[in-house]
Amino acid sequence: MAYENIQVSREGPIATITVNRPKALNALNSATLRELLQAVREAADSSRALILTGAGDKAFVAGADISEMAPMTPWSAREFSELGHVLTAMLEDIPCATIAAVNGYALGGGCELALMCDMIIAGDTARFGQPEVNLGIIPGAGGTQRWPRTAGKYVAMETVLTGAPITASRAHELGIANKVVPAEMTVAIAQRVARQLAEKAPLALRMAKEAVLKAFEAPLAEGLMSERKSFYFLFSTDDQKEGMRAFLEKRKAVFKGR
Protein backbone atom coordinates (compact mmCIF):
# COMPACT_ATOMS: atom_id res chain seq x y z
CA MET A 1 0.00 0.00 0.00
CA ALA A 2 1.23 3.53 -0.81
CA TYR A 3 1.50 5.88 2.15
CA GLU A 4 1.74 9.66 2.23
CA ASN A 5 2.89 10.31 5.79
CA ILE A 6 4.95 7.27 6.62
CA GLN A 7 7.53 5.07 4.92
CA VAL A 8 7.73 1.35 5.38
CA SER A 9 10.85 -0.63 4.57
CA ARG A 10 11.75 -4.21 5.11
CA GLU A 11 14.98 -6.12 5.64
CA GLY A 12 14.13 -9.83 5.82
CA PRO A 13 11.84 -10.35 8.80
CA ILE A 14 12.38 -6.81 10.11
CA ALA A 15 9.97 -4.01 9.21
CA THR A 16 10.84 -0.36 9.77
CA ILE A 17 8.10 2.26 9.87
CA THR A 18 9.29 5.86 9.60
CA VAL A 19 6.92 8.72 10.34
CA ASN A 20 7.71 11.04 7.49
CA ARG A 21 6.48 14.61 8.08
CA PRO A 22 9.80 16.28 8.89
CA LYS A 23 8.43 19.78 8.20
CA ALA A 24 6.06 19.31 11.14
CA LEU A 25 8.68 17.40 13.16
CA ASN A 26 6.75 14.22 12.33
CA ALA A 27 3.68 15.33 14.25
CA LEU A 28 0.82 12.85 14.14
CA ASN A 29 -2.31 13.99 12.37
CA SER A 30 -5.22 11.61 11.98
CA ALA A 31 -4.18 10.61 8.45
CA THR A 32 -0.77 9.59 9.81
CA LEU A 33 -2.36 7.69 12.69
CA ARG A 34 -4.53 5.76 10.21
CA GLU A 35 -1.53 4.95 8.04
CA LEU A 36 0.40 3.79 11.10
CA LEU A 37 -2.49 1.53 12.08
CA GLN A 38 -2.49 -0.06 8.64
CA ALA A 39 1.30 -0.46 8.54
CA VAL A 40 1.48 -1.94 12.05
CA ARG A 41 -1.33 -4.35 11.15
CA GLU A 42 0.61 -5.47 8.05
CA ALA A 43 3.87 -5.76 10.00
CA ALA A 44 2.14 -7.91 12.62
CA ASP A 45 1.38 -10.52 9.97
CA SER A 46 4.74 -10.57 8.28
CA SER A 47 7.52 -9.54 10.67
CA ARG A 48 9.51 -10.82 13.58
CA ALA A 49 10.58 -7.36 14.70
CA LEU A 50 9.30 -3.87 14.03
CA ILE A 51 11.23 -0.61 14.34
CA LEU A 52 9.42 2.71 14.65
CA THR A 53 11.30 5.91 13.97
CA GLY A 54 10.95 9.45 12.62
CA ALA A 55 12.34 11.02 9.45
CA GLY A 56 15.20 13.49 9.75
CA ASP A 57 17.57 14.08 12.63
CA LYS A 58 15.48 16.39 14.77
CA ALA A 59 12.42 14.48 15.84
CA PHE A 60 11.10 11.02 16.45
CA VAL A 61 7.58 12.43 16.71
CA ALA A 62 6.90 15.90 18.24
CA GLY A 63 3.41 14.89 19.34
CA ALA A 64 -0.07 15.04 17.97
CA ASP A 65 -0.54 17.61 15.22
CA ILE A 66 -1.45 20.85 16.99
CA SER A 67 -2.76 22.55 13.85
CA GLU A 68 -5.25 19.71 13.37
CA MET A 69 -6.20 19.64 17.06
CA ALA A 70 -6.62 23.41 17.54
CA PRO A 71 -10.19 23.67 16.13
CA MET A 72 -11.40 20.33 17.54
CA THR A 73 -14.58 20.03 19.56
CA PRO A 74 -14.63 17.70 22.58
CA TRP A 75 -16.36 15.10 20.42
CA SER A 76 -13.79 15.20 17.60
CA ALA A 77 -11.01 15.21 20.23
CA ARG A 78 -12.56 12.05 21.66
CA GLU A 79 -12.35 10.35 18.25
CA PHE A 80 -8.77 11.54 17.78
CA SER A 81 -7.73 10.23 21.18
CA GLU A 82 -9.46 6.93 20.45
CA LEU A 83 -7.40 6.57 17.29
CA GLY A 84 -4.22 7.05 19.34
CA HIS A 85 -5.40 4.49 21.87
CA VAL A 86 -6.21 1.93 19.16
CA LEU A 87 -2.73 2.37 17.68
CA THR A 88 -0.90 2.09 20.98
CA ALA A 89 -2.99 -0.95 21.99
CA MET A 90 -2.19 -2.60 18.68
CA LEU A 91 1.53 -1.97 19.17
CA GLU A 92 1.32 -3.64 22.54
CA ASP A 93 -0.68 -6.58 21.19
CA ILE A 94 1.24 -7.44 18.06
CA PRO A 95 3.17 -10.67 18.36
CA CYS A 96 6.52 -9.39 17.08
CA ALA A 97 8.98 -7.34 19.13
CA THR A 98 8.73 -3.57 18.70
CA ILE A 99 11.58 -1.10 19.06
CA ALA A 100 11.33 2.70 19.12
CA ALA A 101 14.43 4.31 17.59
CA VAL A 102 14.06 7.75 19.17
CA ASN A 103 16.16 10.14 17.11
CA GLY A 104 15.20 13.51 18.58
CA TYR A 105 12.03 14.92 20.14
CA ALA A 106 9.57 12.33 21.44
CA LEU A 107 6.93 14.62 22.85
CA GLY A 108 3.27 14.19 23.70
CA GLY A 109 1.79 11.51 21.45
CA GLY A 110 5.33 10.79 20.20
CA CYS A 111 6.50 9.95 23.69
CA GLU A 112 3.39 7.84 24.21
CA LEU A 113 4.13 5.98 20.97
CA ALA A 114 7.68 5.22 22.12
CA LEU A 115 6.44 4.06 25.54
CA MET A 116 4.22 1.49 23.83
CA CYS A 117 7.18 -0.21 22.18
CA ASP A 118 8.90 -3.17 23.82
CA MET A 119 12.29 -1.46 23.79
CA ILE A 120 13.53 2.09 23.33
CA ILE A 121 16.86 2.97 21.74
CA ALA A 122 17.50 6.68 22.26
CA GLY A 123 19.88 8.86 20.34
CA ASP A 124 21.90 11.12 22.63
CA THR A 125 19.96 14.17 21.38
CA ALA A 126 16.56 12.61 22.17
CA ARG A 127 14.14 14.45 24.43
CA PHE A 128 11.17 12.75 26.06
CA GLY A 129 8.25 14.69 27.46
CA GLN A 130 4.55 15.30 27.84
CA PRO A 131 4.14 19.03 27.18
CA GLU A 132 0.34 18.88 26.85
CA VAL A 133 -0.27 21.08 29.92
CA ASN A 134 1.36 23.92 27.99
CA LEU A 135 -1.44 23.59 25.44
CA GLY A 136 -4.29 23.45 27.93
CA ILE A 137 -4.83 19.70 27.59
CA ILE A 138 -3.46 16.48 29.07
CA PRO A 139 -1.82 13.48 27.37
CA GLY A 140 -4.42 11.71 25.25
CA ALA A 141 -2.73 8.53 24.05
CA GLY A 142 -2.00 6.82 27.35
CA GLY A 143 0.75 9.01 28.86
CA THR A 144 -0.89 9.53 32.23
CA GLN A 145 -1.17 5.75 32.65
CA ARG A 146 2.08 4.58 31.02
CA TRP A 147 4.45 7.01 32.74
CA PRO A 148 3.56 5.92 36.32
CA ARG A 149 3.71 2.26 35.29
CA THR A 150 7.10 2.78 33.66
CA ALA A 151 8.84 5.35 35.85
CA GLY A 152 6.78 5.58 39.06
CA LYS A 153 4.46 8.20 40.50
CA TYR A 154 6.86 11.07 41.17
CA VAL A 155 8.62 11.03 37.82
CA ALA A 156 5.20 10.71 36.15
CA MET A 157 3.83 13.67 38.08
CA GLU A 158 6.88 15.78 37.28
CA THR A 159 6.72 14.93 33.59
CA VAL A 160 2.98 15.32 33.13
CA LEU A 161 2.50 18.34 35.43
CA THR A 162 5.50 20.41 34.40
CA GLY A 163 5.51 19.45 30.72
CA ALA A 164 9.30 19.78 30.80
CA PRO A 165 11.16 17.31 28.58
CA ILE A 166 13.92 15.08 29.92
CA THR A 167 17.18 14.21 28.21
CA ALA A 168 18.08 10.82 26.79
CA SER A 169 20.53 10.15 29.60
CA ARG A 170 17.93 10.97 32.27
CA ALA A 171 15.44 8.73 30.43
CA HIS A 172 18.05 5.98 30.55
CA GLU A 173 18.62 6.50 34.28
CA LEU A 174 14.87 6.24 34.83
CA GLY A 175 14.65 3.00 32.87
CA ILE A 176 12.72 4.55 30.00
CA ALA A 177 15.43 4.05 27.40
CA ASN A 178 17.26 0.73 27.08
CA LYS A 179 20.32 2.34 25.51
CA VAL A 180 21.58 5.78 24.67
CA VAL A 181 23.63 5.84 21.49
CA PRO A 182 25.20 8.49 19.25
CA ALA A 183 22.27 10.19 17.50
CA GLU A 184 23.36 9.25 14.00
CA MET A 185 23.57 5.55 15.01
CA THR A 186 20.06 5.34 16.49
CA VAL A 187 18.37 3.45 13.67
CA ALA A 188 21.42 1.28 12.90
CA ILE A 189 21.62 0.16 16.52
CA ALA A 190 17.87 -0.45 16.65
CA GLN A 191 18.32 -2.61 13.55
CA ARG A 192 21.11 -4.55 15.25
CA VAL A 193 18.85 -5.22 18.24
CA ALA A 194 15.96 -6.11 15.91
CA ARG A 195 18.13 -8.68 14.10
CA GLN A 196 18.97 -10.31 17.43
CA LEU A 197 15.29 -10.44 18.39
CA ALA A 198 14.26 -11.74 14.97
CA GLU A 199 16.47 -14.78 15.49
CA LYS A 200 14.63 -15.89 18.61
CA ALA A 201 11.88 -18.50 18.60
CA PRO A 202 8.84 -16.46 17.47
CA LEU A 203 6.24 -18.16 19.67
CA ALA A 204 8.50 -17.92 22.71
CA LEU A 205 9.15 -14.25 21.98
CA ARG A 206 5.44 -13.57 21.64
CA MET A 207 4.60 -15.37 24.87
CA ALA A 208 7.49 -13.73 26.71
CA LYS A 209 6.15 -10.33 25.65
CA GLU A 210 2.63 -11.21 26.77
CA ALA A 211 3.93 -12.51 30.09
CA VAL A 212 5.91 -9.36 30.88
CA LEU A 213 2.97 -7.11 29.93
CA LYS A 214 0.69 -9.16 32.17
CA ALA A 215 2.72 -7.92 35.15
CA PHE A 216 1.29 -4.43 34.61
CA GLU A 217 -2.29 -5.60 34.86
CA ALA A 218 -2.69 -8.81 36.81
CA PRO A 219 -2.16 -9.63 40.47
CA LEU A 220 1.08 -11.56 41.06
CA ALA A 221 -0.58 -14.97 41.47
CA GLU A 222 -2.47 -14.56 38.20
CA GLY A 223 0.68 -13.38 36.41
CA LEU A 224 2.64 -16.36 37.70
CA MET A 225 -0.12 -18.77 36.66
CA SER A 226 -0.15 -17.26 33.20
CA GLU A 227 3.65 -17.55 32.96
CA ARG A 228 3.50 -21.19 34.01
CA LYS A 229 0.85 -22.01 31.38
CA SER A 230 2.85 -20.37 28.60
CA PHE A 231 6.03 -22.10 29.83
CA TYR A 232 4.58 -25.58 29.59
CA PHE A 233 2.60 -24.83 26.42
CA LEU A 234 5.86 -24.03 24.64
CA PHE A 235 7.00 -27.62 25.25
CA SER A 236 4.40 -28.63 22.66
CA THR A 237 6.12 -26.64 19.91
CA ASP A 238 8.64 -27.74 17.26
CA ASP A 239 10.76 -24.73 18.18
CA GLN A 240 11.27 -25.98 21.74
CA LYS A 241 12.49 -29.34 20.36
CA GLU A 242 14.73 -27.56 17.84
CA GLY A 243 16.07 -25.02 20.37
CA MET A 244 17.10 -27.62 22.91
CA ARG A 245 18.39 -30.11 20.33
CA ALA A 246 20.49 -27.37 18.71
CA PHE A 247 21.98 -26.47 22.10
CA LEU A 248 22.92 -30.08 22.79
CA GLU A 249 24.32 -30.53 19.27
CA LYS A 250 26.30 -27.27 19.65
CA ARG A 251 24.77 -25.61 16.59
CA LYS A 252 22.57 -22.63 15.90
CA ALA A 253 18.83 -23.30 16.16
CA VAL A 254 16.62 -22.74 13.14
CA PHE A 255 13.21 -21.67 14.39
CA LYS A 256 10.07 -21.96 12.31
CA GLY A 257 7.49 -20.37 14.58
CA ARG A 258 5.65 -23.66 15.13
Q: Nearer to ligand CAA by C-beta: 183 or 224? A: 183
Question: For 28, which DSSP code?
Answer: B
Distance (Å, whole) CA 35 – CA 176: 26
**Considering beta carbons, is residue 35 or 132 the nearer one to ligand CAA?**
132
User: Of 145, 25, 134, 20, whose CA–CA distance to 81 is shortest?
Assistant: 145
* Residue 59 beta carbon to ligand CAA: minimum distance, rounded to whole angstroms: 6
Please choose, from the candidates 24, 78, 77, the residue with its C-alpha nearest in 3D space to the C-alpha of residue 55: 24
CA distances from 200 to 193, 204, 234 (A): 11, 8, 13
- Cα-atom radius of gyration of the chain, to the nearest Å? 19
Which of 35, 79, 112, 222 is the catalytic position? Answer: 112
Residues in CB range of 107: below 8 A, 6 or more apart: 61, 62, 63, 127, 128, 129, 130, 131, 165
Which residues bind to ligand CAA, rule: CB under 6 A?
Answer: 24-25, 27, 62-67, 84, 105, 107-109, 112, 131-132, 135, 139-141, 143
Which CB atom, from 13 or from 139, has the smaller least distance to ligand CAA?
A: 139
Q: Catalytic annotation on 79? A: no
In order, the DSSP letters of 212-247 are: HHHTTTS-HHHHHHHHHHHHHHGGGSHHHHHHHHHH
User: CA of 194: how far to CAs of 6, 13, 39, 78, 84, in Å?
Assistant: 20, 9, 17, 34, 24
- Pick the catalytic residue: 82, 132, 217, 242? 132
Nearer to ligand CAA, 116 or 204 (CB): 116
Q: Read off φ and ψ for residue 110, nearest 5 degrees.
A: -70, -40
For the question of residue 112 being annotated catalytic, the response is yes
Which is closer to ligand CAA, CB of 70 or CB of 248? 70
Give dist(CA 25, CA 37) in Å, integer. 19
Q: Which residues are catalytic?
A: 112, 132
